[in-house]
Amino acid sequence: MVRTARFSEEDFIEATMALVAEGGPAAATMQAIARRVGAPTGSIYHRFDSRSAVLGAAWNRAYASFIKALAPLLRKGRPREAALAILPWSRENERRARFLLLNEPVTLFEDTPPPAPLREELERLEEEFDGAFRACVSGCGDGVVRDEDLARAKFLIFDAPIAILRPHLMRGGALPPFAERMIAELHAGMPLAATRNRAARPAVVA
């Protein structure tokens, strides 16, 4: 190294997350990222090949942090704790939570996909997460993991809690206490494994 860098990868990634969290993916233009860091746009290209490389790096970083918080609980066979762990993680990583949980990768990368190394890293992360789900599901039944059971687990532990949190993440500010209650009740009322060989208990109407 011959010249000390004023701006780090970290700086650009953090700025990107903040911009997307605040104004959606379209707000994270290269010029906006640079402006936020206080750098000229060209400097970003000394660290990243392209805009999708910046976005991809930010996504992988946020996703890895999220998985780190949930996967151990899943592997220990604690789906309810895993679902509830999304709350403290979101509170401690507000920016990351808004960035990760309020955007779909498909909309974030729809124009140009990230470069190969980042795509591969993302695949690894997704496999790790998927594996944790499978471990959790297979721990609660026999060895075979049926599609329905996996879909059900992902819903109960991931998609449903996020759906509960979404309005409050969007609005900003604190997550209300009843969000936690809703997640807990959801897990109390709906079993992780699909009821086999009998129809769902019919709901009592009126």
Partner DNA sequence: ACCATTCTAAAACGTCTATTCTAATTGGCA
Partner DNA sequence: TGCCAATTAGAATAGACGTTTTAGAATGGT
Tally Cβ neighbours within 10 Å of residue 69.
17
CB of 2 to DNA, least distance (A): 3
> Is 90 in contact with 97 (CB distance < 8 Å)?
yes
Please tell me the distance from the alpha carbon of residue 12 to that of residue 25, in angstroms, as a whole number: 15
Stretch that binds DNA, among 24-32, 98-106, 141-149, 182-190 (CB under 7 A): 24-32
Please tell me the distance from the alpha carbon of residue 198 to that of residue 206, in angstroms, as a whole number: 24
Stretch that binds a copy of itself, among 17-25, 30-38, 57-65, 130-138 (CB under 8 A): 17-25
Q: What are the residues whose beta carbons fall under 8 Å from the beta carbon of 174, sequence distance 6 or more? A: 91, 168
Tally Cβ neighbours within 10 Å of residue 84.
19
- Assess 116 for contact with a copy of itself (CB under 8 A): no
Among 32, 135, 160, 193, binds a copy of itself (CB under 8 A): 160
- Interaction mask 100-139, DNA, x per CB under 7 A: ------------x---------------------------
In terms of CB distance, is 106 or 199 closer to DNA? Answer: 106
- Check residue 181 and report its DSSP letter: H
Residues lying near DNA in the complex (CB under 7 A) are found at 1-7, 28-31, 39-43, 45-46, 50-52, 112
